[in-house]
Chains A and B, each alone.
Chain A
Amino acid sequence: MNVDPVASVEHTPERPDVQRNGRTGLWPVDSEWLAWPALACGLLLTVVVTFLLWQRLSASAEQRFAGEVDRVVAQLTQRMVAHEQILRGAAGLVQAEPEVTREAWHEYVSELGLEHNYPGILGVGLSWRIPAAQREAHERQVRLGGVPGYAIRPPDPRDEYHSILYLEPLNDRNLKAIGYDMNSEPTRSAAMSRARDTGEAALSGKVTLVQEGTGPVQPGFLLYVPLYRHGMARDTPEQRRQALVGYAYSPYRAHDLFGSALRGYADNVVVDIHDGETTDPATLLYSNGDGHAMSVHEDVRTLRIAGHAWTLRTRAPAGLGADHLVLWLLPVMGCGLSTLLFYLLRLLASTARANSRTRAAAHALALGEKRLSAVLDTAADGIVTTDQAGMVLTINRSAAEIFEVDGDSIIGLPLERLLPAFDGEWFAGQEVDSGPVERWRLSRDVQGLSGRRTFPVTVSASRFSLHDRLVYVLLLRDITGQIETEMRMRLHDRALASSSEAVVIRDVQSSSYPVVYVNSAFERLTGHSAADVIGRPFSLVSDEFNPVHVVEEMRWAIVHEKPYSTTVDVCGADGRRMWVALSSSPVRDNDGRVTHYVDVFGDVTQRIEFEQKLIRRTNRLHTVFSLSPDGFVTFDESGTLTNVNPAFARMTHLSQRELLGLKAEQFDRMISRLADPDKPWPELVLDRSTDEPQRLWLLHPDVRVIERSARVAPEGRSETVLYFRDITQQFEVDRMKSEFLSTAAHELRTPLASIFGFAELLINREYDEAARRRMHTIIHRQSRVLVNLINDLLDLARIEARAGQAFRLEDLSVKSIVTATLEGLAMPEEPGQPVRQVTLDMPTAVPRIRVDHEKMVRALSNVVTNAFKYSPDGGEVVLTVCEASRNSRLMAGIRVTDHGIGMTPEQQARIFERFYRADPSGNIPGTGLGMSLVKEIMEMHGGEIEVDSAPGRGTAVTLWLPVMDTATT
């Protein structure tokens, strides 16, 4: 679209007017006819004005002309009156002195200063009347008077003669007139006669003066004033004829006279003076006209001067003053202006018509222009036009925004301010170097300048010629965003390409969902090259390998345009099974339609394996944690209890529910309330691993000794794990060992003390026989106690140490055990004491048991011996063999029943304690280890001990052993 941007921008502010004009028009359409009335009006006006002006000018000219005429007449009249006065003066002179001399005349005339004061007058003369009779005498007299050659001319004889006597100034020309008889010539004579008869001055008609010589002949005339004889009546013409003596007269050359008289009076008019009452050219005396055009003004009047008529024709020359010019100029200009107006109107009309013809086009153009303007302003691209020097002509809104300038303020300024690259030099260079205007295009990226900020701009420049001037149009685009976008796109591309996650983009608008993009990770992971899969459908998850529900889910997701993610195992590049975490999301276009699906998946085989390992391990740990007899409590980094295992709950009888979420201090207080207040309480400190376990002495819910260790996770979150180990038993064993040692030492030292003490007494002092014997007996008995004690201890230690390994188990009949036991007891403990008897109650069919014979005999012996010892008053001791089902097991029982002192329940509870003796008085000998040994042996055989006793009634102890079978003896 070739649009003049200059025009468009200039028109922009006037757009409203353009619109209005477009609709109504400045000039009515088809109004050409209006030119005609306008012309008529113009002309009419011109006529009227011209007429009025002419009238006014005419009146004025008339007035002026009349004035001029009056001035001429007055002057002329006045002059002639003056001349008449001169002659009257001369007449007076002659009246006063009838014999006037030539000298007096001369003097008079000289004083008049004719030539100076009265130009045009040839002279003032005196014509004398000479009767015919006196002619001779007169002539003589005059000749004598100093005028030689004087003669009256013409000499023809007449009744009287009139001779010019004097004519002053008497120059050569006037000299010719001396002696001339003017009366001889009719014209002069008529005037003379009239003067004589009227007594008044009389002017002659047109004559040729006698003074006229060889030069140009002027018309002439003469003025006569009659001279009468002094003293004669002259009241009637007759009288006057009688009294006449002569005339004073002046000859006039008409041209000279009128010329001088009218000088300064008739400059503006043309004056013709005719002799007589007509304007016959023959009678023309004078005219100052020079043949120029005459105006219409003319004045013809008849003057009566000295009884003679002159006709004065006064005319104004053409263009009286300057008025005629105006008068001509006005209509000319009026006509001209009218015509001009006419043509202007015609032109306007034709323009309007042209407008009318092109209205639609113009309207369209205006719309187009408006649209263009709108486009320019709304164009996202900046558009700047410059002249060929690079001065900004127009700048659209976007460009102004790009450069953050006020658009109007930059107009007329060099573009360089916005685009430093486009400086004056550049423009100058383009003009010279570049190709033809219409071919010239340019596109380049430059830096734009906005304040201090520079930014990249893509400039597309073109130019066109407008009225022989170049106009550059620059299309600008701030490509900061574009570059950023491109960079971001490149980054995205690179990120996509370099991603370790495989990326597949599928076009879901096609029914087969062909692949449109895969990245290199895809190729690496799947072993498919991009060329293989692009344009084809591809599914990582196939029916072949994957559970149906996974495939179905994915299809469902695509159909319902949902994202989905899953972890599946698929066939990898080298055919190996591979776990991938696949996440697939729909990509929507601007209308919200799903166009593509992006699948991202990565090889998570290691992770999955690791996870599985971790899960297994976690499960293991959890199991350990749960099953551990030791308590575990964990705190997170904020010191909040996060985990507690069942063992700890068991230890403390605190439920997990009440412990979870406690703070470390609360937890510590809660546990410390369970503790033995007499024992030191090691305060719980988190975030520090303990070097040594701390020992807690609990009284509640049970008496326990617990070792508490703290471990802080070496790295990561500083979790603290508390480890509670119930060492009650261990502690008890330790304590028991210690106590055992202590007790055993005590038990050993006690008999030793007797042995040592009595022996020392025996050494140091003499005793009588009886005393000695008594002391020896004590020493012996205590030695036996010592030996038994040592044997029992050794047996016990052996059994414990070997823990059954040294057992020689045999299938034996209970009977053999019983028999061997009773045989072993068939000797007195103390020499001389009676052997105690046992009542045997044994069925014929006795069960067989699998036991170590020796150990079992020992155990039974201890039980039987106790029965003897604790029934000191005798009483029957019964040994019973029985069989019974205990805890679903068939057991063989060997029961030893006495009727001795019996035991309290407290004593019964302690009978298996080492060195415990139900009789502490020392009356009943024993080591206190017998029942301990029995217990150990029974436990080794998987048997049980049943004790049934009551103080004063006796005791029944049953040894139960698993039955192998029952044999008949």
Chain B
Amino acid sequence: MRARVVLVEDQPEIRQLIRMTLDFGDFELGEAIDADAGWSLIQKQQPDLVLLDVMMPGSMDGLALCRKLRQHPEFRSVPVVLLTARSQQRDIDAGLEAGADAYLTKPFSPMELLERISGLLKEPRAQ
């Protein structure tokens, strides 16, 4: 069965990059351009993993959505990978605190992303 991944990212170039990266594996990818759209998509697609850009326009940023997922009983255990241009430790800490399982700073290696996604899907999070 193909793993379902939802990507929430405002930059079209990055969406394209990730789409092409995920072509390496067997994934079913859903894309959203902001957090609100992402939330709707996640609820609809019930993804196995969520990729979240942190800095996005709109009422919610990635961190907020991440927290929202963690507070939701259905998505509490869905692995979340944060992608962000913010590279300071402070930002990483804030991300992990919000409940993310992985934190990748831009620019990131597509191969590494792939490995992390595969890893997270293989070993479901301990509840």
Question: Hey, which bits of chain A sit against chain B, CB under 8 A?
Answer: 742, 745-758, 760-761, 764-765, 775, 778, 782, 920-922
Contacts and interface: CB of A to CB of B under 8 A. Distances in A.
Nearest to B18: A757
Contacts of A920: 10, 57
A756 B107 contact: yes
Contact of B85 (A745, A765, A782, A922): A745
A5 to B, nearest CB: 115
B125 interface: no
- For A742, A754, A757, the residue with the greatest tally of chain B CB atoms inside 10 Å of its CB is A757
11 contacts: A745-B85, A746-B55, A747-B85, A754-B11, A756-B107, A757-B107, A757-B110, A758-B20, A778-B16, A921-B10, A922-B10
Contacts of A764: 110-111
A40 B54 CA distance: 165
Interface string B1-44: 00000000011111011001100100000000100000000000
Contacts of B10: 920-922
Interface in B88-127: 88, 105-111
Contacts of B21: 757, 761
A782 B13 contact: yes
Contacts of A775: 20
A747 B33 CA distance: 17
B91 to A, nearest CB: 8
A750 B87 contact: no
B13 A778 contact: yes
Contacts, number: 72
A915 to B, nearest CB: 11
A747 B87 CA distance: 12
B110 A750 contact: no
B88 to A, nearest CB: 7
Contacts of B20: 758, 761, 775
A907 to B, nearest CB: 12
A760 B110 CA distance: 7
A755 B105 CA distance: 14
Contact of A922 (B12, B84, B87, B111): B12
B104 to A, nearest CB: 10
A752 B111 contact: no
A758 B15 CA distance: 11
Contacts of B14: 750, 753-754, 757
Given A745-B85, A764-B110, 11 more contacts: A742-B86, A745-B87, A746-B86, A751-B13, A752-B106, A753-B13, A753-B14, A764-B111, A920-B57, A921-B33, A922-B12
Question: Closest 9 interchain pairs by CB?
Answer: A756-B107, A746-B85, A753-B106, A749-B85, A753-B107, A757-B17, A754-B13, A749-B106, A920-B57
A765 B17 contact: no
A765 B13 contact: no
A922 B9 CA distance: 12
A764 B115 CA distance: 14
A790 to B, nearest CB: 15
A88 to B, nearest CB: 200
Contact of A753 (B24, B33, B85): B85
A745 B24 CA distance: 29
Given A755-B107, A761-B110, A922 B88 contact: no
Nearest to B106: A753
A969 to B, nearest CB: 46
Contacts of B106: 746, 749-750, 752-753
Given A761-B17, A778-B16, A750 B11 contact: yes
Contacts of B87: 745, 749
A305 B120 CA distance: 213
A920 B16 CA distance: 17
- For A753, A755, A756, A758, the residue with the greatest tally of chain B CB atoms inside 10 Å of its CB is A753
Contacts of A747: 85
B105 A749 contact: yes
A758 B88 contact: no
Nearest to A785: B13
Contacts of B11: 750, 753-754, 922
A395 to B, nearest CB: 106
A761 B24 CA distance: 10
Contact of A758 (B17, B57, B108): B17
B48 to A, nearest CB: 22
Contacts of A749: 85, 87, 105-107
A753 B86 contact: no
Contact of B17 (A742, A753, A922): A753
A738 to B, nearest CB: 10
A542 to B, nearest CB: 80
Nearest to B53: A750
A473 B33 CA distance: 132
B115 to A, nearest CB: 12
Nearest to A747: B85
A642 B12 CA distance: 63
Contacts of A750: 11, 13-14, 85, 106
